[in-house]
Amino acid sequence: MIFFYKKIGGLISGDLQRDRVVPPTGYTASLTTFTSAAMAFMAVFAIALSIAASRLSDHWSAALARSSTLRISAPAPQMERQLNLAIAILNSTPGIKSAQVISLEEQRTLLEPWFGPDVPIENLPMPRLINIDENSSGYDGQSLRLRLIADVPGAILDDHTKWRRPLVTAAQRLWVLGLFSIVLMAATSAAMITLAARAAMSANSQVISVLRLIGAQDNYIAAAFVRRFTFRTFTGASLGSAFGAASVYFFPSQKVHLSIFTGLGFQGAEWLWLLLVPPLMGIVAFIATQRSASRVLRGLS
Amino acid sequence: MIEFENASYSYTGGELLSDVSLSVSSGAFYFITGPSGSGKTTFLKMCYGALIPNSGGIRLFDYDVRQMSRDEIALARRKIGVIHQDCQFLDHMSVTDNITLPLAVSGQDRLSDNMNLKELLSWVGLKGRADALPPELSGGERQRAALARAVIMSPDIILADEPTGNIDWEMSQRLLQLLVELNKMGKTVLLASHDLSLIRLAKSQVQARVLRIANKRIQLAGSNL
């Protein structure tokens, strides 16, 4: 680790003109800058996806965890009585903030996508629903169920666990996939930069030969290439990140993030994550070029 | 400074130098002569650690080259100025930057007190070409720029491999004059050339030892060149 810090230190300090010994042109220059820009651009979207997935997971978890539904199935004459009993039980249960019967009108609206707007819901043997809002401490579901079985036999408590779990799991997997994509992009960048560095060193064998002739040590020669490639990558990654950030900024979004598509973006301090992309790409380039240069120079001895 | 002890060098094509024993004395002027392909360049490359002998040994400033790492050889090279026939430069950098490159490589930011860049350029006759790029130089100018680069670190030894190979007679004389001046300043000079007229001219100016490479071996040449 100390060796790594020393190398980074050498990159910043020392002979600041060291990389001038490497000719500034050549196809590897544009290749490195373009590749790092493209990878940084995609990395910004991967980060946005991960953050959106994480946010959505939290949103779903929180929203579903704070509410439950009580479904009451009973013959029409007993329905009103059972509803009142259930409301009384719910209102006396610790951890429940409020309990409200969903009106028939609201139930019609809920069913509208499936049955259309003119369904005669009053004539159907529809169960009635009670929406339960919990307070921060939550309620004891087991004891509530026991009380409901005793007094309201047709009541079924749904705390949304079976809905919540797969949604949260999916969102968490999406978050992991986003992170994996970022790692994959870093690895691809490293591979591309390694190839470009090797090509640059082969194309500049005369430079290496001259430097060796005048007494340059391997770390001087390697640093000349490493510095050049690190700064090219940093520049490319900065451009790519800027374009990525602009694209995400103008991506259509909603305030209420209902899906991954409408929630793709950054909020507040989340934008700061993008500042990490260019330096991290620079570090990837530094390590890739350092390893590549050392190998090439060993091979040339 | 440099000591060869039964050093031999062979390549896949066969043996190039065999059983060389020689001690390069400080402040001496050596001519290495022999026909093309006789091994002059190989000998000089062995002198600065670019080629390592397959058998026997070479001591470079009292260190066995076979035991030296690449970085240690690089450090030793800072005490040796090398001029090749096809002197290579960094073509994208100016003549001045090329000449001062050994200083940057060795971590020095300025010339030593007794060396001045303008004087150095003037000494090698490149005062007006300081900002030119190497491809813009003539053959003679390139050789003189290479000489300036070779001496900027005030090395103990100057190795010149056919430095007059690509330049006219007048420029050859000028270059030889510069090498003789360096020798008179106390630098050891090893000059490889197949040009006997140049050697005869040098012998009239400086006390030089002539080494002849023939049949893969080095021997002290007689006076009848």
Share of chain A above pLDDT 70, in %: 89
The ipTM value here is 0.87
Determine the distance from the C-alpha atom of residue A114 to the mean position of all C-alpha atoms in its chain, rounded to a whole number: 34
Q: Answer whether 0.80 is exceeded by the pTM.
A: no
Structure tokens at B66: 């076979």
- The CA distances from residue A106 to A101, A128, B173, in Å, are 10, 11, 107
Measured in degrees and rounded to the nearest 5, phi and psi for residue A155 equal -95, 135
Share of chain B above pLDDT 70, in %: 95
Give the per-residue pLDDT at B137: 92
Identify which of B50, B88, B107 has the shortest CB distance to residue A206. Answer: B88
Mean pLDDT throughout A194-220? 90
Instruction: Give CA–CA dist B30/B4, Å, rounded.
Output: 15
Quickly count: other Cβ atoms within 10 Å of residue B32's Cβ.
Answer: 28
Degrees, nearest 5: CA angle A105-A109-A110: 115
State pLDDT tens for residues A43-97: 999 999 888 888 887 877 777 777 888 999 888 888 888 899 999 999 999 989 9
- List the single residue in A with minimal CA-CA distance to B88: A210
Task: Check B104 against A211: CB less than 8 A apart.
Answer: no
Q: How far A203 CA lies from chain B's nearest CA (Å)?
A: 13
- List the single residue in A with minimal CA-CA distance to B147: A214
Instruction: Give CA–CA dist A33/A234, Å, rounded.
Output: 8
Residues on chain B bordering chain A, Cβ-to-Cβ distance under 8 angstroms: 50, 70-71, 74-78, 82, 84, 88-93, 97, 101-102, 104-107, 149, 153
Torsion of Cα atoms, A25 then A28 then A30 then A31, to 10°: 180
